């Protein structure tokens, strides 16, 4: 889970040390998750799959593509981190109907979230995803 420990504001309540921000993006962890699977074209902002991307399952490709959109937003090359099922299908080269089916399953399992008609990976899921994908990147 991507968490940032907030230092206590005062000594009177030591429990404040337990407070975290789930909305803060850990860019180092995002890089660690993506570096074995994609690159980003500096001129166009396109997500470019590299060799280990081929070893990913469909659901993993969807997640990596969504995380690519998150990285693009963090780099200032995209206005939003969310993607529609159609855009995900186009960017990940996965059949549109398959994308829709997997998105539904991933949302039900709380791996991804939905905002309107578009999807994204919540920052707090980066660690869980990193642990799943690191096995593939090391092989």
* Alpha-carbon span 123 to 112, nearest angstrom: 10
Name the DSSP class of 125.
G
Any residues with CB less than 8 A from the CB of 82 and at least 6 apart, and which?
69, 115, 116, 118, 119, 120
Q: Which of 81, 79, 83 is nearest to 27 (CA)?
A: 81
> pLDDT by residue (tens digit) across 56-109?
999 999 999 999 999 999 999 999 999 999 999 999 999 999 999 999 999 999
User: Above 60 in pLDDT, residue 10?
Assistant: no
Chain CA centroid to CA 14, Å: 33
In terms of pLDDT, which residue wins out, 139 or 62? 62
Q: Answer for the pair 88, 62: CB distance below 8 angstroms, yes or no.
A: yes
How far apart, in whole angstroms, are the C-alpha atoms of residue 122 and residue 111? 8
For residue range 25-63, list pLDDT tens digits in order.
889 889 999 999 999 999 999 999 998 999 999 999 999
- Return the pLDDT at 9: 56
Q: Does the pTM of the predicted model rise above 0.85?
A: no
Domains defined along the chain, listed by start:
25-138 (1.10.10.10)
pLDDT of res. 12: 78
């Amino acid at each position: 889970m991507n968490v940032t420990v907030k230092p206590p504001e005062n000594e009177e309540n030591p429990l404040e040390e337990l407070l975290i921000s789930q909305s803060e993006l850990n860019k180092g962890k995002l890089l660690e998750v993506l570096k074995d699977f994609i690159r980003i074209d500096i001129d166009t902002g396109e997500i470019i799959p590299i060799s280990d991307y081929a070893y990913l399952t469909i659901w993993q490709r969807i997640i990596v593509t969504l995380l690519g959109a998150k990285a693009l937003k963090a780099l200032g090359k995209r206005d939003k981190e969310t993607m529609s099922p159609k855009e995900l299908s186009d960017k990940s080269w996965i059949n549109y109907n398959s994308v829709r089916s997997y998105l539904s399953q991933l949302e039900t399992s709380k791996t991804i979230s939905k905002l309107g008609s578009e999807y994204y990976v919540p920052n707090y899921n980066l660690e869980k995803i990193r642990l799943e994908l690191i096995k593939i990147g090391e092989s």
